[in-house]
């Protein structure tokens, strides 16, 4: 039912036998090697390794030594359609998602024009039905043109398919406007997602304010520009008993404010990005514009707090904030470059290499947090169980890859992990029952070909 | 020394001392009637200035000419830069002339480092945003060395708008590298959070200024008041102006220029023997000759090419 709020191009239901992969699904409690048979896009059978066989035509992958997870969900991507297709399109952005192991993505409305009226959303859904490689949902703007002055027709937008509302990329500066939006949400439904940043405090900052910005002489964005808005807006949400989601939290103080608000009973949630979980302002010393994003990479203590927030569940999901920009836009001095990094193709590998391999977070927890993002918006969470639609990703944890070496599926190359060697290579992605990504390494063959 | 001069961090103490030695011989050349040596004859140096500058651009131009280089000066006003050309395209265009060095002044941090990827020329940072101004720091070290024999053990206070000063950042690094201890002092709004991580101390008032052997005063930009960093020039001058009443006998005063007479420095101090401001300007040419020579002639790899 909720699936109708996601859109993708027509795709053939998969027939596929995945043999001997180590299946890990923290929600169903599976954590052992299995054969998995997908028939007509549905998980038809789960069995001990070597016990399942399809028909002679069933494509098969010998997956012993690899891991099979529920495919990932990204509640925060920028697909740049409509209007900025030179950066990304629904097709290239969702191809990047497929290559990263995602089976669902949710796109932000800060496009040109903004997704702030039904006609724009309708057109976008039409494009997704022609182009989207993986099922894609859309948030609509809270205010017209993201200007923070007039509410959009939230009820009509929700009816037309908006999963929720956000002015992402910009904060909602007026507390009064936010309060109206939260009151109106009772009519419209949907989660309201917030990009938290007090512009009076962030000013013309371009990176985290701290020892590194002091050394580099570039204007800083203090942690309090985010955390004071989290505290303010959580208080308003609590007062209105409204459902609010805080996007891409970066500062220790923000995690603290969110935890306090939840403890007090506010219905608020938060997300963490792979880059805030694994990189810090120390990485910005070389002024590489691919490491310029908003919110900025913060100090090591902030990174640790975000990790702890993710561990405890205060931050309930990982979201990439995939933000493509063209090379000519990023190939300028750091202070002039637009903010944003791509993230769909590197999300799992970055978190796996940065946090799981060193023993900071358990693999099962990372898989849980990378699949939780759609649940916020009421979407069904991918599970590996008989009868479920096939949403799975096959990953080789033993192999590594230098990011960017083989190019990107995204139209843009502005990845903050570019040039880094990361472990955890996605080989196969099945989304809503269809194979949406299969690298040569997946080695899919039909039995007839083998014999 | 690396092939470029982007940051004081490109130089260790021995590297700085080598440039000081070279600068001493070039200062001697500058004292002659014919102030020119043929070291860079036939080679081209591009001065690419994206910000207005009098001192730095004229002294780089003079330094290159005294080394007999051909000099091309590009200023952003009226150039292709004004017509929206990107830094990358400008640098590639100029590189087609096969310059030995590009001297760049940019309002953006990291610009000098960035263009090293787009040209074969040696790159000299003549100021990148509020990041660094390494040749200013070198000429300040040179000036102090000429006046006092060296920096070892000196206590140097840098006073004023540290937040917006590339000179402060390069000088903190250079002074410390040469053995001095550095204290920065200014209104708390103009001292960047975390500056102590560079190894210096930070003070909010001039109360302990007496401990300084050298007082290095920074320019206060007039527009800082509109941004509420300081309430008024009057209050700033009352609290932070370096004047005769605040100085003790024997203290040396420096300033990178241009000075706001009567704001950060009193007129009587500027005109007194305590001020090394004119000596700083004069050092500029010799030190920039030394830097260009070191990068273009001194480096063994390039010597073969030349």
pLDDT at A262: 97
Min distance B181 CA to chain A CA atoms (Å): 17
The Cβ of residue A184 has, within 10 Å, a number of other Cβ atoms equal to 17
Facing B110 at nearest CB: one of A209, A222, A333: A333
Q: What is the residue extent of each domain of chain A?
A: 2-68+388-450, 71-377
Q: Are A368 and A69 in contact (CB under 8 A)?
A: no
Nearest CB partner across the interface for B194, out of A211, A218, A335: A211
> Does the structure show a pLDDT above 70 at B301?
no
Kindly determine whether residue B194 and residue A333, on different chains, have CB atoms separated by under 8 Å.
Answer: no
Burial of A198 (0-12, 13-18, 19+ CB in 10 A): middle
Tell me what pLDDT residue B79 has. 66
Looking at residue B80, what is its pLDDT? 66
Closest chain A C-alpha to B39 CA, distance in angstroms: 33
Interface test with A, best of B92, B108, B116, B163 (most A CBs within 10 A): B108
Kindly state whether residue B104 falls inside one of the protein's structural domains: yes
Q: Give me the residue label for tokens 């209105």.
A: A240
pLDDT at A403: 98
Closest alpha carbon to B75 in B59, B41, B52: B52
Q: Which of A312, A396, A308 is nearest to A352 (CA)?
A: A396
Nearest CA in chain B to A216: B131
Q: What is the DSSP letter of A13?
A: P
Q: What's the CATH number for A2-68+388-450? A: 2.30.40.10
Task: Please indicate, yes or no, if residue B2 is contained in any of the structural domains.
Answer: no
Q: Which chain B residues are closer than 8 Å to A216 by Cβ?
A: 109-110, 131
Q: Are A192 and A246 in contact (CB under 8 A)?
A: no
Question: Which one of the listed residues A321, A396, A400, A418 is annotated catalytic?
Answer: A321
Q: Do B109 and A333 touch (CB under 8 A)?
A: yes
Q: Which residues of B touch A334 (CB under 8 A)?
A: 108-110
Check B129 against A214: CB less than 8 A apart. Answer: no
A286 close to B (CB below 8 A): yes
- At A104-129, the pLDDT tens digits run 999 999 999 999 999 999 999 999 99
Residues of B in contact with A213 (CB under 8 A): 192, 194
**Chain A to chain B, count of Cβ pairs less than 8 Å apart?**
69
Q: Are residues B269 and B295 part of one domain? A: no
Q: B194 and A334 in contact by Cβ < 8 A?
A: no
Are A332 and B86 a contacting pair at CB < 8 A? yes
Q: Per-residue pLDDT tens for B127-162?
A: 999 999 999 999 999 999 999 999 999 999 999 999
Residue B3: inside a domain: no
- Name which of B108, B164, B193 is nearest A336 (Cβ-Cβ): B108
Query: Do B231 and B300 sit in the same domain of this protein?
Result: no
Same domain flag for B17 and B93: yes
Q: Does B244 map to a domain?
A: yes
- Is B1 a member of any domain? no
Chain A residue numbers with beta carbons less than 8 Å from the beta carbon of B111 are 333
Whole-complex ipTM: 0.93
pTM of full prediction above 0.80: yes
Whether residues B124 and B145 share a domain: the answer is: no
Instruction: Respond yes or no: is residue A321 known to be catalytic.
Output: yes
Q: Are residues B233 and B292 in the same domain?
A: no
Residues of chain A below pLDDT 70: 1-3, 446-451
Give the residue from A324, A247, A276 showing the smallest Cα distance to A81. Answer: A324
CA distance B289 to A213: 31
Give the pair of three-digit tokens for residue B113.
Answer: 């480092």
Residue B213 lies in a domain: yes
Radius of gyration of chain B (CA): 19
Same domain, B101 and B153: no
B193 and A216 in contact by Cβ < 8 A? no
Q: What is the pLDDT of residue A440?
A: 86
Do B113 and B202 have their domain in common? no
Candidate from B113, B114, B197 with C-beta closest to A215: B197
Q: Assess A218–B contact: CB distance below 8 Å, yes or no.
A: yes
Domain region containing B43: 8-132+284-305
Residue of B109, B117, B190 to mutate when probing chain A, most A C-beta within 10 A: B109
Do B118 and B161 lie in one domain? The reply is: no
**Chain A residues in contact with B86 (beta carbon < 8 A):** 328, 331-332
Residue A215 contacts B where some CB pair is shorter than 8 Å: yes
Kindly state whether residue B290 falls inside one of the protein's structural domains.
Answer: yes
- Same domain? For B194 and B257 the reply is yes
pLDDT in tens, B178-203: 999 999 999 999 999 999 999 999 99
* Alpha-carbon span A371 to A384, nearest angstrom: 12
Both B154 and B276 in one domain: the answer is yes
Q: Render pLDDT for B244-258 as a digit per residue (tens, 0 to 9).
A: 999 999 999 999 999
pLDDT band at residue B82, thresholds of 50, 70 and 90? Answer: low
Question: From A329, which residue of chain B is nearest by alpha-carbon distance?
Answer: B86
In this structure, the answer to whether residues B103 and B191 fall within a common structural domain is no
Question: What's the pLDDT at A446?
Answer: 65
Position B81 pLDDT exceeds 70: no
CATH of A71-377, one of 3.40.50.300, 3.40.50.980, 3.20.20.140, 2.60.40.10: 3.20.20.140
- pLDDT at residue number A442: 81
Residue B126 belongs to domain with CATH number? 3.40.50.1370
Contact A107, A77 (CB under 8 A): yes
Look at residue B120 and tell me whether its pLDDT is greater than 80.
Answer: yes
B88 inside domain: yes
Tally of domains in chain B: 2
Best B194, B198, B201, B228 residue to mutate vs chain A (most A CBs within 10 Å): B194
């Amino acid at each position: 039912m909720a699936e109708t709020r996601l859109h993708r191009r027509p795709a053939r239901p998969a027939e596929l036998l995945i043999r001997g992969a180590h299946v890990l699904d923290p929600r169903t409690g599976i954590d052992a090697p299995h054969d998995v048979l997908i028939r007509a896009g549905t998980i038809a059978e789960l069995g001990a390794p070597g016990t399942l066989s399809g028909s002679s035509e069933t494509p098969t992958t010998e997956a012993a030594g690899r891991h099979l997870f529920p495919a990932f969900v990204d509640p925060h991507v920028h697909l740049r359609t409509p209007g900025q297709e030179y950066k990304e399109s629904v097709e290239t952005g969702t191809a990047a998602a497929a290559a990263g192991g995602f089976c669902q993505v949710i796109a932000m409305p800060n496009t040109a024009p903004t997704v702030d009226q039904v006609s724009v959303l309708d057109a976008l859904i039409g494009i997704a039905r022609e182009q989207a490689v993986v099922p894609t949902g859309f948030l609509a703007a809270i205010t017209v043109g993201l200007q923070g002055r007039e509410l959009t027709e939230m009820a009509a937008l929700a009816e037309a398919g908006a999963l929720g509302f956000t002015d992402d990329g910009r904060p909602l500066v007026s507390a009064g406007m936010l309060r109206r939006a939260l009151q109106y949400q009772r009519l419209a439904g949907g989660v309201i997602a917030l990009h938290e940043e007090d512009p009076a405090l962030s000013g013309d900052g371009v990176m985290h304010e701290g020892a590194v910005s002091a050394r580099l002489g570039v204007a800083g964005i203090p942690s309090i520009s985010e955390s004071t808005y989290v505290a303010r807006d959580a208080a308003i949400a609590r007062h209105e008993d409204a459902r609010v989601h805080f996007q891409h939290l970066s500062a220790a103080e923000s995690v603290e404010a969110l935890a306090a608000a939840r403890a007090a009973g506010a219905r608020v949630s938060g997300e963490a990005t792979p880059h805030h979980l694994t990189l810090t302002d120390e990485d910005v010393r070389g002024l590489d514009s691919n490491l310029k994003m908003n919110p900025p990479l913060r100090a090591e203590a902030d990174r640790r707090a975000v990790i702890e927030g993710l561990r405890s569940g205060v931050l309930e999901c990982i979201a990439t904030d995939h933000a493509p920009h063209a090379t000519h836009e990023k190939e300028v001095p750091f202070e002039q470059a637009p903010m944003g990094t791509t993230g769909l193709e590197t999300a799992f590998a970055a978190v796996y290499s940065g946090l799981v391999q060193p023993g900071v977070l358990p693999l099962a927890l990372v898989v849980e947090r990378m699949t939780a993002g759609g649940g916020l918006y009421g979407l069904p969470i991918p599970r590996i169980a008989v009868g479920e639609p096939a949403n799975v990703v096959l990953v080789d944890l033993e192999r590594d890859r230098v990011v960017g070496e083989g190019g990107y599926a995204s139209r843009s190359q502005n990845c903050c992990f570019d040039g880094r060697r990361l472990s955890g290579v996605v080989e196969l992605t099945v989304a809503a029952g269809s194979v949406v990504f299969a690298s040569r390494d997946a080695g899919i063959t039909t039995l007839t070909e083998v014999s | 020394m690396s092939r470029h001069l982007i940051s004081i961090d490109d130089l260790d103490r021995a590297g700085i001392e080598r440039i000081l030695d070279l600068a001493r011989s070039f200062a001697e050349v500058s004292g002659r009637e014919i102030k020119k040596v043929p070291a860079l004859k036939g080679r081209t140096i591009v001065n690419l200035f994206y910000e207005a500058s009098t001192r730095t651009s004229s002294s780089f131009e003079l330094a290159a000419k005294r080394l007999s280089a051909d000099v091309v000066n590009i200023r952003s006003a009226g150039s292709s830069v004004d017509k929206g050309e990107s830094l990358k395209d400008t640098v590639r265009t100029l590189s087609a002339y096969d310059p030995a060095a590009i001297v760049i002044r940019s309002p953006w941090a990291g610009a000098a480092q960035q263009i090293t990827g787009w040209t074969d020329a040696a790159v000299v940072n003549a100021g990148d945003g509020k990041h660094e101004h390494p040749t200013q720091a070198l000429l300040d070290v040179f000036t102090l060395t000429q006046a006092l024999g060296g920096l070892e053990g000196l206590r140097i206070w840098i006073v004023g708008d540290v937040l917006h000063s590339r000179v402060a950042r390069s000088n903190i690094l250079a002074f410390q590298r040469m053995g001095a201890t550095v204290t920065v002092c200014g209104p708390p709004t103009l001292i960047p959070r975390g500056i102590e991580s560079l190894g210096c101390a930070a003070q909010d008032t001039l109360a302990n200024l007496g401990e300084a052997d050298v007082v290095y005063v920074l320019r206060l930009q007039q527009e800082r008041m509109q941004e509420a960093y300081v309430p008024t020039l009057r209050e700033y001058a009352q609290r932070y102006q370096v004047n005769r009443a605040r100085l003790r006998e024997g203290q040396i005063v420096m300033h990178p220029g241009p000075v706001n007479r009567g704001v950060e420095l009193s007129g009587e101090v500027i005109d007194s023997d305590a001020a090394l401001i004119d000596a700083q300007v004069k050092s500029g040419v010799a030190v920039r000759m030394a830097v260009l020579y070191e990068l273009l002639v001194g480096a063994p790899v390039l010597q073969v090419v030349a």
